[in-house]
């Protein structure tokens, strides 16, 4: 019997308990043994919960119980979660987490700690919710030299952008709708400012390229400045606006990582990923491009990824098979400054004001004011763009995603 | 050092040798040890190959060499491949295969043999080429009760259908083009008759639902009867014609499995999977729908999946973690007779001849003869359709894929 302790009885934590109960039969078949929730740690009281007799408030009860095989950390944040994860690993318990903030900031340390204590630290649910992507990245693609990971990593912002495009809502209106439907938090800043996508980009980059990338190293731009006008121009050009996280392995061994809204061509498979769905494209030198697609969040999808990790951690208890990556360094990560892209620009002015920009494609949109113009430039770096703009501040500027060499 | 013997020096076999050589560094990093091709078995001579010194013609050299850890079987078919796989497993060597015919027909026996001999039998490359799908199915989705697997499983037929739609070619013309480009074999029957998709459906069903499904049990219809007229009607209705393999777990514990061309709505993620790409959708009770998408064939993508399996087989040498499923049985698999679908029909006649069909949507296509009519019916079983057709033989009849509960 695998005995599990769940830290935090919120959406994901209660989902984990529910999946373990509902899918008892299939889990037992796959794990080879049954699985039981022995403790649930939460500071709140849940007197009416069916798990009331399992609730504890003191982590040392879990830490000191040798029967607990796996600790599931769904607290979030990097304070109590960090402390309890460290203590659990040191106590010889494997830890499974859905906490992207913690992994993105402290993944290297915690993986080392797991290895020292001969246990597992796993976090499939931290990226892409229920979509299996970290396992395939680290295992199934082991024979490839990976060159890029890119994706739609945040369901909330994708929902907002999809509804701006589909129903002509402003950013604020679409955000309000997402909040009413429970897809956006009361304080949505981690989503709309790109912070969540940034953390996931760090985790993907670390697994794909083998070295820690810290959120502070990743140039991050959210979607708060994306206007309905931008979305309309994109639509008229047969493109969609998508918030993408990208990590590209450069020839010099460094990694270019950034998060920003992009215009994506309709022929690109990322263009059709709508609503709260996520999609991650992995590029390898043998495999070409592979895409993983599904619900990027949600109670049960995320919980099912956690439970799969629990099974995996338990099955690997007696083997020496550790996920790991190297320590990060300041010089290892670079921003997208050197990246040549076509640019979408929305400018105040007329065609006459475009002279210094070089060849452009002029876009139209219904109801555009006479003194507004939308264009797509040729490919250039951001520096070159600034030079050609020669002091003019565009109303909007977004990269156009370069055509996928393979999938598009 | 992992010592590998490759059986068969064709497209995939030579690709495996190439991936091992080209990606030596990353493979060593992921596997924890280096990997070396010790033997290549082929009846042909390759005097100019860089692997000339590794070529052998007698399998017993490999069988009797205790240094060989993993045998890679890329011979194809179910004769020599079956014999050598049995002998390798009995000799205590793990076997990795890309041979869907062998796995679909003899997977149960070979997995049992692997377990008895405490070695691995793995075949990620047999479905979806380089796309990781079998591993995620068996591991990452271990916490889900899976209910359906559906997908575009054959790149050749998808290429043909895409080019019929995109460039207005007839089936024969599109097949010829696919052959010229090397996407279809000289004898394309295994692809165009749906046999290849059928084998892959069997393997997916076995992993998803835990019991062997034999190709002979799966109702299989290829694309040879799909006409340009059908494709045009579908196009006019905003749909695409796709050859799908499906396996659905029924409430009575049986599995419904079949392969057939379908009309797929544009809103379904499978509709946009074009050319030689494959996509597999897995549905679980916790995760909802997840899609895996990429190149379903090709030398290097397939080889990279093989090499990843070699790493995995080697790493699991000393653990008791076996992929397995139960023996098949005659009563376990049922055809799609009980499945209610809307139907696309192309009929000789006029609107007056539709009376007995019940409510239909009438479709148009450019250049349709006056005595031809295309319709989409309401949802019904095949029996009910036959009854309503009352002896009229439609020129074409294809199921319309029901809307995905989740991804669409």
Region of B367 on the Ramachandran plot (φ > 0 left; ψ -120 to 50 alpha; else beta) = left
CATH 3.40.50.720 domain residues, chain A: 2-122
In this prediction, residue A404 carries a pLDDT of 57
In this prediction, residue A55 carries a pLDDT of 97
Largest CA distance in chain B: 75
Cα separation, A84 vs A76, in Å, equals 11
Indicate yes or no: CB of B144 within 8 angstroms of CB of A292. Answer: no
Cα separation, B255 vs B243, in Å, equals 19
Of the candidates A3, A38, A54, A200, the residue annotated as catalytic is: A200
In this prediction, residue B318 carries a pLDDT of 57
Contact residues, chain B, for A286 at CB < 8 Å: 19, 22-23, 130, 300-301, 303-304
**Are residues B110 and B85 in contact, defined by beta-carbon separation less than 8 angstroms?**
yes
In this prediction the pTM is: 0.94
Mean pLDDT of chain B: 93
Contact residues, chain A, for B277 at CB < 8 Å: 407
Identify the CA nearest to A216 among candidates A229, A198, A232. Answer: A198
The structure tokens listed for A206 are 């670390």
Name the minimum distance, in Å, from the CA of A314 to any CA of chain B: 11
Cα separation, A350 vs A400, in Å, equals 22
Q: What angle do CA A9, A12, A16 make, to 5 degrees?
A: 85
pLDDT at B406 over 60: no
Q: What is the pLDDT of residues A242-260, one digit of tens each?
A: 999 999 999 999 999 999 9
pLDDT band at B30 (very low <50, low <70, confident <90, very high): confident
Cα separation, B27 vs B112, in Å, equals 29
Largest CA distance in chain A: 75
In this prediction, residue A278 carries a pLDDT of 97
Cα separation, B42 vs B49, in Å, equals 12
Residue B385: Cβ within 10 Å count: 19
Identify the CA nearest to A159 among candidates A29, A38, A296. Answer: A296
Cα separation, A107 vs A82, in Å, equals 10
**Are residues B345 and B230 in contact, defined by beta-carbon separation less than 8 angstroms?**
no
Indicate yes or no: CB of B19 within 8 angstroms of CB of A286. Answer: yes
Q: What residue in A sits closest to B266 (Cα-Cα)?
A: A272
Indicate yes or no: CB of A291 within 8 angstroms of CB of B290. Answer: no
pLDDT at B21 over 80: yes
Q: Does A390 touch chain B (CB under 8 A)?
A: no
Cα separation, A161 vs A139, in Å, equals 33
Strands A55-56 and A121-122: unpaired
**Are residues B296 and B277 in contact, defined by beta-carbon separation less than 8 angstroms?**
yes
In this prediction, residue A314 carries a pLDDT of 87
Interface test with B, best of A158, A286, A315, A407 (most B CBs within 10 A): A286
Q: Annotate B308-326 with b (16+ C-beta within 10 A) or e (fewer).
A: bbbbbbbbbeebeebbebe
| Superfamily (CATH H level) for B134-289 | Dihydrodipicolinate Reductase; domain 2 (3.30.360.10)
User: By three-state DSSP, how is residue B284 classified?
Assistant: strand
Cα separation, A103 vs A111, in Å, equals 9
Which residues 135-154 in chain A show a CB within 8 A of chain B?
135-136, 138-145
pLDDT over 90 for what percent of chain B?
83
DSSP structure class, residue B217: G
Of the candidates B3, B93, B200, B299, the residue annotated as catalytic is: B200
Q: What is the pLDDT of residues B203-246, one digit of tens each?
A: 999 999 999 999 999 999 999 999 999 999 999 999 999 999 99
CATH 3.30.360.10 domain residues, chain B: 134-289
Strands B288-295 and A288-295: antiparallel
CATH number of A2-122: 3.40.50.720
Name the minimum distance, in Å, from the CA of A359 to any CA of chain B: 31
Q: What is the pLDDT of residues A190-238, one digit of tens each?
A: 999 999 999 999 999 999 999 999 999 999 999 999 999 999 999 999 9
CATH class of B337-400: alpha beta
B266 or A90, greater pLDDT: A90
User: By three-state DSSP, how is residue A277 classified?
Assistant: strand
Contact residues, chain B, for A270 at CB < 8 Å: none
Indicate yes or no: CB of B294 within 8 angstroms of CB of A287. Answer: yes
Contact residues, chain B, for A139 at CB < 8 Å: 132, 135, 308, 311-312
Q: Does A286 touch chain B (CB under 8 A)?
A: yes
Interface test with A, best of B140, B284, B288 (most A CBs within 10 A): B140
Indicate yes or no: CB of A318 within 8 angstroms of CB of B316. Answer: no
Q: Does A375 touch chain B (CB under 8 A)?
A: no
Q: Does B317 touch chain A (CB under 8 A)?
A: no
The ipTM is 0.91
Give the position of tokens 């499995």. Answer: B257
Q: What is the pLDDT of residues B144-180, one digit of tens each?
A: 999 999 999 999 999 999 999 888 899 999 999 999 9
Which residues 86-125 in chain A show a CB within 8 A of chain B?
124
CATH 3.30.360.10 domain residues, chain A: 134-294
* Helix B155-167 / helix B171-180 crossing angle, nearest 10 deg: 120
- Rg (alpha carbons) of chain B, rounded to whole number: 23
Q: What angle do CA B347, B350, B356 make, to 5 degrees?
A: 75
Cα separation, A180 vs A192, in Å, equals 16
B322 or B31, greater pLDDT: B31
Q: Considering the domain delimited by A134-294, tell me its CATH architecture.
A: 2-Layer Sandwich (3.30)
Cα separation, B113 vs B121, in Å, equals 9
In this prediction, residue B404 carries a pLDDT of 57
In this prediction, residue A298 carries a pLDDT of 85
In this prediction, residue B92 carries a pLDDT of 96
Indicate yes or no: CB of A305 within 8 angstroms of CB of B311. Answer: no
Which residues 178-217 in chain B show a CB within 8 A of chain A?
210
**Nearest Cβ partner of A304 from B132, B284, B298?**
B284
* Residue B200 among the catalytic residues: yes
The structure tokens listed for B280 are 């597999």
Indicate yes or no: CB of B141 within 8 angstroms of CB of A124. Answer: no
**Are residues B295 and B273 in contact, defined by beta-carbon separation less than 8 angstroms?**
no
């Amino acid at each position: 019997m695998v005995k599990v302790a769940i830290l935090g009885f919120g959406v994901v934590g209660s989902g984990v308990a529910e999946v373990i109960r509902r899918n008892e039969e299939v889990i037992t078949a796959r794990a080879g043994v049954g699985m039981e929730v022995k403790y649930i740690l939460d500071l709140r009281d849940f007197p009416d919960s069916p798990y009331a007799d399992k609730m504890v408030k003191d982590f040392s009860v879990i830490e000191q119980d040798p029967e607990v095989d796996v600790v599931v950390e769904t607290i979030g944040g990097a304070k109590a979660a960090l402390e309890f994860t460290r203590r659990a690993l040191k106590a010889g318990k494997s830890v499974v987490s859905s906490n992207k903030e913690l992994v993105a900031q402290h993944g290297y340390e915690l993986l080392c700690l797991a290895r020292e204590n001969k246990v597992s630290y796993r976090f499939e649910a931290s990226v892409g919710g229920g979509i299996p992507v970290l396992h395939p990245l680290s295992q199934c693609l082991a024979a490839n030299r990976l060159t890029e990971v890119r994706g739609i990593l945040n369901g909330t912002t994708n929902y907002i952008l999809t509804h701006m495009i589909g129903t002509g809502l402003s950013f604020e209106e679409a955000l309000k709708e997402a909040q009413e439907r429970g897809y956006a938090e009361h304080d949505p800043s981690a989503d709309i400012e790109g912070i969540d996508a940034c953390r996931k980009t760090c985790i993907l980059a670390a697994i794909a390229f083998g070295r820690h990338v810290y959120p502070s190293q990743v140039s991050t731009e959210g979607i708060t400045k994306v206007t309905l006008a931008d979305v309309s121009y994109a639509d008229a050009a047969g493109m969609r606006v998508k918030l993408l996280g990208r990590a590209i392995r450069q020839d010099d061994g460094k990694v270019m990582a950034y998060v920003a809204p992009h215009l994506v061509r309709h022929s690109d498979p990322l263009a059709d990923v709508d609503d709260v769905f996520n999609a991650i494209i992995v590029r390898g030198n043998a495999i070409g491009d592979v895409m993983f697609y599904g619900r990027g969040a949600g109670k049960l999808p995320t919980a099912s990824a956690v439970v799969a990790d629990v099974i995996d951690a338990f099955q690997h208890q007696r083997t020496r098979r550790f996920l790991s990556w190297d320590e990060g360094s300041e010089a290892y990560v670079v921003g997208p400054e050197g990246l040549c892209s076509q640019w979408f620009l929305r400018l105040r002015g007329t065609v006459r004001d475009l002279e210094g920009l070089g060849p452009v494609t002029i876009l139209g949109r219904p109801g555009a004011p006479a003194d507004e113009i939308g264009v797509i430039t040729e490919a250039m770096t951001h520096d070159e763009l600034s030079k050609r703009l020669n002091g003019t501040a565009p109303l909007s500027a977004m990269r156009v995603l370069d055509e996928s060499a393979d999938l598009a």
